[in-house]
Structure 1
Amino acid sequence: MLSLVLVVGASCPAVTQALPSAPLGSANQVSGTPAAMSFNDAASPCLLLMTARNAFSLAPLGTPAQLRKTCAAESARGNPAARVIYGQMVLFGYAAPPDKSGLAILTQTAAEGDARAQRLIGSLYREGYRVPKDPRLARQWLSRAAEGGDGRSAETLGLMDYNGEGGSVDFPSAYRLFVRAAGYGEPLGATNAGRMLFVGQPGVPRDEAGSVAWFIQGALQGDADAQFQLGMALLRGSAIVADAHGAAGWLAAAAARNQREAKAMLAELYLSGKGVSPDALRGFSLMTEAARSGLAYAQRRTGDLYAQGTGVTRNDVLALEWHRKAALNGDTNAQFALAVQYRLGQGCPVDFDAAIGWMRGAAQAGLAVAQNDLGTMLQAGEGTRRDIGEARLWYERASEQGLGIASYNLASLARAGLGEPRDLARAYRLARLGAQRGNAQAQVMLGGMLFAGEGAPADKAAGFAWYRKAADGGDREAERIVAMLYINGNGVPRDEKLGESYLKRAAMHGDAQAQTALAILLLKRPSPDEQSAAREWLIKAVSQRFGPAYAAMGTLYAKGEGAAPDQASALQWFTRGAESNDEVSQRILCLAYANGSGVAPDVVKAQRWCTAAAGAGDTLAMRQLATGFATDPPLPSATRAYWQWRLASNGDAAYELMLADSYDLGRGVAVDFGAALYWFRRAAEHGNVDAQSALASHLFSGLGGESDDLEALEWASRAAAASASAMDLTGEAYLYGRGVARNPQIARRWLEKAATAGSADAANELANVYQTGNGVACDDTLAAQWYRKAAALGSRQAAIALALHQQDDDGAVALTARARYWLALEGDPSTKAGGPTSTPPADAMQAGDRLDFDALSALNKALAGMPFAQIEMGILFWRGGGVMRDRALGDAWLRRAQSAFGAQPGWRCFVQPARIVEARVRAGLTEAERERADLLTENLLMTVPAINVATEMK
């Protein structure tokens, strides 16, 4: 069977391309779909072979030439319909080459008044098909046909006015012509009249009720577009009572006539079960039919269905393929979907270049979600260089369209000061905007800002209301926050039951933090069922690799909650948590390995986990590293100094003091008295009493900077209420007139108070007071008592005084090891050895890193003229204890001490014992060392004053 589709009754399909395209479900697209022309002459063999589709159906043995001959004969006999058909055969070349004489046949028939020929001639001039395009002639012939009652011609003239073909656009005229065509029974006229009223045009006011009336007329007359539009009107329920079932019926009617938009919308009804029984398979089938017809919307939705696995097995590759087709056809939502798939690697490898390209296209087309996501990609530098400035511009465009998440993103930038100065007030306004638009993240942010008073006055009630709104909307973070606020009674009356209900909701929504918190809450209860449930929640949280859940599991086994304690299992859980970067687990392991709590002490593991936890900001771990471990080998002093600095930098006075000590002692850092003075001052200003005392000591001595007795006394006075050292410094200030008028009575009271509080230096100073009669009567007995107390408290100079008292001319043999050390009775240092030949007893000198600092303190006192300190320095230099060994310098200090003792009546009893010690030392010197010792002695005698306790002295 041979078929031929003729243009009889056709109107120009290109006309509709000049009109605004309509989104699926709209009614604002005027169209001119071809319709059949009626031929009703049952006696005509030519017409009897016409089908309903304006095509010819040949007899089994017939040929096109025979059909043409039949129609030519009937045309010659004057049959108008046959003449129209035969004229087209000749003009278009059916069964013979095309011949313009066919136009003459058609023109003659049209001139005789045949509306079908008139419409055909008008359409040919409108299209410029086989004749020159001529809108004027087209209008003339179509007008003659319309005046004769031809509805399709009137409809075509309406399209020409609507598009401005051959003249200006004239919407009122177009509407009148569509109405006229509808009056002639042309369904397309009714459909297009309805479309114009639905949208409204200049000169044609919008009238939705009127548009529905026209759609009903067109639908009843069988126009598929009108049936589609009527179905959409019934779905919308505006200007007509909503009727989803009726809508489905009209959409089905249109779909049966291959109206592709109707197929797509009917598919949506089957997918949603609206107006029809849910049928995902039927919905998918209809959607793919519409997609294959080239409808971009249906192509995108087919991609969605493949991505979701709705009505078909999920297939990300086919989803990507259909999204790409729709995207290439200009569907903005498909471009966005395609960008997301490339960004996430769904159905393809991750391709940020492709993702950013499609995302930018959708954003530039005005899709708000694409504008927002393009902003996030620019902010993160995905597929392009990081550009927060451009990201903000896209967020702003999306926010201007009312997208709440974009407002939230803008608020986040302003709150953090990213790419712009930090502006909490602006962040608050934007968060509020996003919250009002329904974005849960913005609601949570707004709640937090109101709780904290960021960008606006604190208002916990209002903040809680926003938290609750987000929680009631299903946001799991908000559910968890609301739960904890209820449980703790923060900003809302305490309600543990209600809080637990929100916590369960967040846990069921998969929030690992809520699952862990709920488990901890249930573990406190005696019910075995609740403890079992707690364990299940922890297992769920652990499956998400939530670090604190590991710590909770470890605690569960460590404490034996709901089961017997199992330290091995607890250690395993804590270790897993620590390896998952859980700060709590790392801190627990840090302290356990450092202190040997439940495990064998292990400095390597302790340092590893303490460092990890400290690096995450855990203060307890920092403190453990700053103070060191009770393990062997000890933690490196440089490591301790670093963490002391971290804590001190955060304003922790205790560690400011500790760091100052480290600089004083060269413990993990180079000795730096200036740095020590800086950190002592910071700790002192933060109220640390020990630091205030240490700062006063440094200022009195000038260690780390210029001495300042006035400021030193001020700091000593601040600390004197609680610090024995500060009491001693205050007493010495009054004793020697440092920063205050000399007053031995006040001095003695402070020194006695300090000595009673345990100050060895104060007890030693009191011994000196009674020994020399400084403001009191000389009293050798009281002096000896105070020297013994000072020595017992650890004063080396008091120990030297006692040793000198005990020594006789023969060197005394019944002396303690401590006394023998200071009297040079043992351990004569070899000139070839690298260090002292004897180690001082434990009570003779402090061990460790204070050795050097104590030597320095003694040196300061020796330089100030204190003879017992000069004896101390002599023995230290001779032995190399805390200072570089220099036997000649040691002898020189011992000789300088003799002069200092001789300068004060109360101390003259020590001259001979000191001379014996010096002689013992000098006997072991080489000749060269003796010569150098003599030179050094002369220098010391000229530069180091002898202290005069009766006058002011610094």
Structure 2
Amino acid sequence: MSSNGPITKKRKLEINISKDDEDFIKMFLKTFYHKIIETNDFNYFEKISIEWIKFYLETDDKNPKKILELMKNHKQSKFWFTSLIGFFYQFGIGCDLNKKMAMESYQLAINNEIEKNFLNENFKQFDTFDLLRNENIIIGKYLLSLFYYKDIIIDLEGFNYNRYRKGKNGQNELMNLVTLAKNDDSDAQYNLAICYKSGNGVEIDYKKAFKWFLSSAKKENTNAQFNLAICYMDGLGIQKDDEKAFEWFLKSELSEHRFTQNERKIFECQLKLAIRNNSTSQNCLGDYYQYGRIYKNEKKAFEWYLKSAVAGCALGQYNLGNCYANAVGTNKDETKAFEWYLKSAAVGYVLGQCNLGDCYRLGKGINKDEAKAFEWYLKSALSGCAQGQCNLGYCYYYGKGIDKDKTKAFKWYLRSAVAGYAKGQCNLGDCYRFGKGIDKDETKAFEWYLQSAVAGYARGQCNLGECYYYGKGVNKDKTNAFEWYLKSAAAGCAQGQYNLGCCYYYGKGIDKDKTEAFKWYLKSAIAGYAKGQCNLGDCYRFGKGIDKDETKAFEWYLKSAVAGCAKGQCNLGDCYANAVGTDKNEMEAFEWYLKSAVAGCALGQYNLGYCYANAVGTNKDEKKAFEWYLKSAVAGCAQGQCNLGYCYQYGIEIYKDETKAFEWYLKSAVAGCALGQYNLGNCYANAVGT
């Protein structure tokens, strides 16, 4: 048993490390680094990380003791693995618990600081040694901070939530605002200060902004106090004064919000550092405000992220990009979001790289470029980002910026899934479910959907519901299916909403309720789900769960058909053929039946056959009619089976064959087609094919 602690410079390599083992521990470090920089939960970080390490190692059938030895005995142990070694010792993973050794390992990690200019301008030229060393330093700093200060970096729940009210004053209101401000109206003074600070209706004048912020702040206006602190911090309209900035920041929060002793200690510590332009603390304050750890205030969150980003913090740049992308505390601006993601990505921040890939893939803030999207996803994935690994898998799966390769897609989805990314787990489930890049295995598909669903991913919940509904990898259980569809639907998944609507419509796992079915079909349809739009059309067409309205039925069928739903295309064809909610137009009917039939809709194939047989919207062509009736019949359409039987009975574009006619009438009759049942009766009565 080894307990000699981290490797020092003089220690010799004692064991041979295979390339596979080396690749594994390097990826282990990168993935753990990614978990560190993404964490927002100080309370349970250590517990979650211990469980994650156990799962990560068990998935690859790795022994924790062996992994610890590999890291300790690697020739670059001092530079790459000391932070992880410390974590293993701190919690007795693969060794006896030894907090002294943990602390020494963390200190060894952070004492290998990298020069600020070590990053090459071209990311492709970054040296692996320096990248891993940088990650080791960041992990070490974080873990050492928790080691010493965990008692004050906890218990951040239970705050009051207030929103920051923005002044919206155009130039036409400026004179009234000035009058009110001069009459000691605190809100007017604050709003006038904002006008001078931002140049809204007046020329920017920081001295006047400071003057009115000060007047309002003295009247206990907390927003004015916050902005006054910013003025002192940045030297806007007044000489820079860190002490006064700290004093006013504190007043702005303490006047309305009660802190525990620990909470105040945390806030004051971060605030002092932030005022001194510590970019990490500025980002931390942004997090506090965005997620309500002090109280929720997205405008203040944006202000602190902006300062952090400008000061060069990669995480702050990433968060600022998110603010612009999602209109958090500012107006939506995809171009600015792209610019800040780019800055974050350029210095190696993996989530920035991933989101930059999204910008290129979707054409947000920059021209669409799937090849560049792939490149940035690759950088992110290789650095251990689970989200980047999932997106890289997506590129390989669908051929975005790279040739399709389902095997590689599976590989990257697996890495993402093992790292705990719920979307990656769901996509991995898809691979197993449909045999894409791996042998089909519905049991494993179910297991990965379950993990994704439990983690709260809406599409994973929907897919898990389908497993229960159809008995894929688990016993059929309509009640469980309904429950997971409900979770998925409530979380906003359009497919889950559609499936939930079907459960209510047909009484699967729940009592029939056409009104509830209509409600969920409507949500699904509004979200753009084509099948939901089609079924919503059915509700309006036949008055199920809502008053009958053929015009609305036609409108929703049209949306569904344009979106590519084969059943919607067929139903739209019916509308044109029978003047349902629109004027009769047999040529349009034929065109939509054709689209539906080509897309594989059995009923659309039958209707197309009928059009050819009876010259509806096209020239009569009994040969094509027979071909489409055959496709429809094979696909299980009762009407198609009936008409195919008729073709065989009377030799229409096929050799007359009464035996086959009887067989198809029988199939049609069993499936419930009244005409098929009638024709089958005639067969028995007249000894046709039987």
Q: Normalised by the size of structure 2, how large is the TM-score? A: 0.56
Match of 2:354 in 1: 155
Whole-Å separation in 1 of the counterparts to 2:359 and 2:158: 24
Matched, 1:198 2:400: no
Match of 1:256 in 2: 454
**Equivalent of residue 464 in structure 1, options 651, 659, 670:** 659
Corresponding letter in the other structure for 1:208: K
Query: 1:257-656 alignment to 2 at 5 Å?
Result: 257-416=455-614, 427-428=625-626, 430-432=628-630, 434-435=632-633, 439-454=637-652, 456=653, 459-461=655-657, 464-469=659-664, 471-472=666-667, 474-475=670-671, 478=676, 481=679, 485=683, 488-490=686-688, 492=689, 499=690
Whole-Å separation in 2 of the counterparts to 1:368 and 1:283: 25
* SS of match in other structure, 2:518: helix
Give deviations 1:290-329, integer Å, cap 9, x for gaps: 1111211111111110111111111111111211221222
Q: Could you tell me whether the CA contact under 8 Å between 2:648 and 2:661 is conserved in 1?
A: no
Give deviations 1:580-634, integer Å, cap 9, x for gaps: xxxxxxxxxxxxxxxxxxxxxxxxxxxxxxxxxxxxxxxxxxxxxxxxxxxxxxx
Whole-Å separation in 1 of the counterparts to 2:342 and 2:584: 63
Give deviations 1:253-281, integer Å, cap 9, x for gaps: 11111100001111111222221233222
Structure 1's 142 and 360: CA in aligned 2 closer, same or farther, altered over 3 A? Answer: closer
Corresponding letter in the other structure for 2:383: Y
Q: Could you tell me whether the CA contact under 8 Å between 1:87 and 1:105 is conserved in 2?
A: no
Match of 2:386 in 1: 187
**Equivalent of residue 106 in structure 1, options 304, 308, 327:** 308
Matched, 1:219 2:219: no
Q: CA deviation at 1:135?
A: 6.2
Whole-Å separation in 2 of the counterparts to 1:431 and 1:89: 65
Match of 2:373 in 1: 174
Match of 1:145 in 2: 347
Whole-Å separation in 1 of the counterparts to 2:649 and 2:637: 18
Whole-Å separation in 2 of the counterparts to 1:91 and 1:423: 66
Whole-Å separation in 2 of the counterparts to 1:121 and 1:423: 63
Q: Could you tell me whether the CA contact under 8 Å between 1:378 and 1:387 is conserved in 2?
A: yes
State the structure with bigger RCO (CA 8 A, min sep 6), 1 or 2. Answer: 2
Q: CA deviation at 1:126?
A: 7.2
Matched, 1:61 2:268: no
Matched, 1:229 2:427: yes
Q: Could you tell me whether the CA contact under 8 Å between 1:84 and 1:109 is conserved in 2?
A: no
Structure 1's 135 and 152: CA in aligned 2 closer, same or farther, altered over 3 A? Answer: closer
Q: Could you tell me whether the CA contact under 8 Å between 1:228 and 1:254 is conserved in 2?
A: yes
Q: CA deviation at 1:219?
A: 0.8
Corresponding letter in the other structure for 2:398: V
Q: CA deviation at 1:232?
A: 1.3
Q: Could you tell me whether the CA contact under 8 Å between 2:342 and 2:353 is conserved in 1?
A: no
* SS of match in other structure, 2:606: helix
Match of 2:153 in 1: 49
Whole-Å separation in 2 of the counterparts to 1:354 and 1:441: 27
Whole-Å separation in 2 of the counterparts to 1:355 and 1:143: 48
Match of 1:939 in 2: none
Q: CA deviation at 1:354?
A: 3.2
Matched, 1:70 2:269: yes
Q: CA deviation at 1:105?
A: 5.9
* SS of match in other structure, 1:239: coil
Whole-Å separation in 2 of the counterparts to 1:173 and 1:240: 27
Q: CA deviation at 1:243?
A: 2.1
**Equivalences, count:** 451
Whole-Å separation in 2 of the counterparts to 1:426 and 1:83: 71
- Stretch deviating more after TM superposition (434-443 or 302-311): 434-443
Whole-Å separation in 2 of the counterparts to 1:402 and 1:412: 16
- Stretch deviating more after TM superposition (432-441 or 167-176): 432-441
Structure 1's 425 and 213: CA in aligned 2 closer, same or farther, altered over 3 A? Answer: closer
Give deviations 1:737-778, integer Å, cap 9, x for gaps: xxxxxxxxxxxxxxxxxxxxxxxxxxxxxxxxxxxxxxxxxx
Q: CA deviation at 1:221?
A: 0.7
Whole-Å separation in 2 of the counterparts to 1:372 and 1:90: 52
Q: Could you tell me whether the CA contact under 8 Å between 2:541 and 2:550 is conserved in 1?
A: yes
Q: CA deviation at 1:206?
A: 0.5
Structure 1's 470 and 368: CA in aligned 2 closer, same or farther, altered over 3 A? Answer: farther
Q: Could you tell me whether the CA contact under 8 Å between 1:467 and 1:478 is conserved in 2?
A: no
Q: CA deviation at 1:154?
A: 2.9
Whole-Å separation in 2 of the counterparts to 1:100 and 1:408: 59
Q: Could you tell me whether the CA contact under 8 Å between 2:587 and 2:616 is conserved in 1?
A: no
Whole-Å separation in 1 of the counterparts to 2:157 and 2:357: 24
Q: Could you tell me whether the CA contact under 8 Å between 1:91 and 1:102 is conserved in 2?
A: no
* SS of match in other structure, 1:460: coil
Whole-Å separation in 1 of the counterparts to 2:610 and 2:624: 10
Whole-Å separation in 2 of the counterparts to 1:211 and 1:292: 30
Q: Could you tell me whether the CA contact under 8 Å between 1:68 and 1:89 is conserved in 2?
A: no
Q: Could you tell me whether the CA contact under 8 Å between 1:270 and 1:280 is conserved in 2?
A: yes
Structure 1's 486 and 73: CA in aligned 2 closer, same or farther, altered over 3 A? Answer: same
Corresponding letter in the other structure for 1:465: K
Taking every aligned residue pair, what percent have the same amino acid on both sides? 21
Match of 1:771 in 2: none
Q: CA deviation at 1:380?
A: 3.4
* SS of match in other structure, 1:219: helix
Structure 1's 241 and 166: CA in aligned 2 closer, same or farther, altered over 3 A? Answer: same
Whole-Å separation in 1 of the counterparts to 2:290 and 2:504: 49
Corresponding letter in the other structure for 2:340: A
Q: Could you tell me whether the CA contact under 8 Å between 1:342 and 1:350 is conserved in 2?
A: yes
Q: CA deviation at 1:430?
A: 5.0
Match of 2:48 in 1: none
Q: Could you tell me whether the CA contact under 8 Å between 1:353 and 1:383 is conserved in 2?
A: yes
Q: Could you tell me whether the CA contact under 8 Å between 1:47 and 1:82 is conserved in 2?
A: no
Whole-Å separation in 2 of the counterparts to 1:419 and 1:191: 47
Structure 1's 440 and 187: CA in aligned 2 closer, same or farther, altered over 3 A? Answer: same
Query: 1:758-907 alignment to 2 at 5 Å?
Result: none
Corresponding letter in the other structure for 1:189: G
Q: Could you tell me whether the CA contact under 8 Å between 1:122 and 1:138 is conserved in 2?
A: yes
Corresponding letter in the other structure for 2:153: L
Give deviations 1:815-844, integer Å, cap 9, x for gaps: xxxxxxxxxxxxxxxxxxxxxxxxxxxxxx
Whole-Å separation in 2 of the counterparts to 1:265 and 1:162: 25
Corresponding letter in the other structure for 1:174: A
Corresponding letter in the other structure for 1:151: V
Q: If you compute each CA radius of gyration, which structure gives the higher value, 1 or 2?
A: 1
Give deviations 1:883-912, integer Å, cap 9, x for gaps: xxxxxxxxxxxxxxxxxxxxxxxxxxxxxx
* SS of match in other structure, 1:366: coil
Q: CA deviation at 1:185?
A: 2.0
